[in-house]
Structure 1
Amino acid sequence: MPKNIIYHITTKEEWTIALADGIYKAASLDKEGFIHCCTQEQVPGVLVRYFNGKKQLLALSIDADKILAPIQYEFSSSLNETFPHIYGAINIESVLAIAEI
């Protein structure tokens, strides 16, 4: 298993669209210019903060070394943590695994 794994939470519906399009674009890409990701250790906190009560969720395990778009690790002062942000679409072949949440 590759060592440089990052995670992105999405819905089954959004992932189905990505598979049809051949590329994944989160709404945040248009709104903020990047796709929010996190480390494995950060997944539980992300789920509580942003997806509490939501259904049909998936966790994408992404090989960061296979992402074609730039990745920047940026500090969130409100959480005192650094998160990976993908500045472009996620190429499908970089997604190693999909887990239902």
Structure 2
Amino acid sequence: MLILHIAKHEDWESALTKGEYSPVSLSLEGFIHCSTPEQIIKIANSNFKNEKGLVLLCIDSSKVKAHISFESSGYDYYPHIYGALNLDAVVKTLEFEPGSDGNFTLPQEVNELVKLLK
């Protein structure tokens, strides 16, 4: 199953050097926030509107070594990764920039990955 995570470009570059991805949310909240492909645009437009310098991590959940739990947040269930993300679980990274109106759209590559990882 494909899950997605929005990261700052510099945080992802740092992860490539360290050998694992451990964002601030992991130390503050104990998990890495992720979304399904159906959820990601709403999350991006709610929390990252107009923000530049982002990448979308496309994660094969079957390759994640840490525990993943789908947990309720309001009206929906979101995947949370409880531990550092092993880099080999990231099957693709995509530049994730907002449009001129500040909103995000789903990159076409995500739909292709969904089909591959079913």
TM-score by length of 2: 0.80
Aligned partner of 2:19 in structure 1 is 22
Aligned partner of 1:31 in structure 2 is 28
Q: Where do 1:76-95 residues align within 5 Å?
A: 76-77=73-74, 80-95=75-90
Unaligned runs of 5+ in 2: 97-118
Unaligned runs of 5+ in 1: none
Percent identity over paired residues? 42
Paired residues, number: 96
Aligned partner of 2:93 in structure 1 is 98
Runs of 4+ in 1 over 6 A off after TM superposition: none
Distance (whole Å) between structure 1 residues aligned to residue 56 and residue 21 of structure 2: 13
Q: Secondary structure at the match of 1:72?
A: strand
Pick from 68, 71, 74 the counterpart of residue 71 of structure 2. 74
The structure number with the bigger radius of gyration is 2
Quote the RMSD (CA, aligned, Å). 0.6
Amino acid at match of 1:35: I
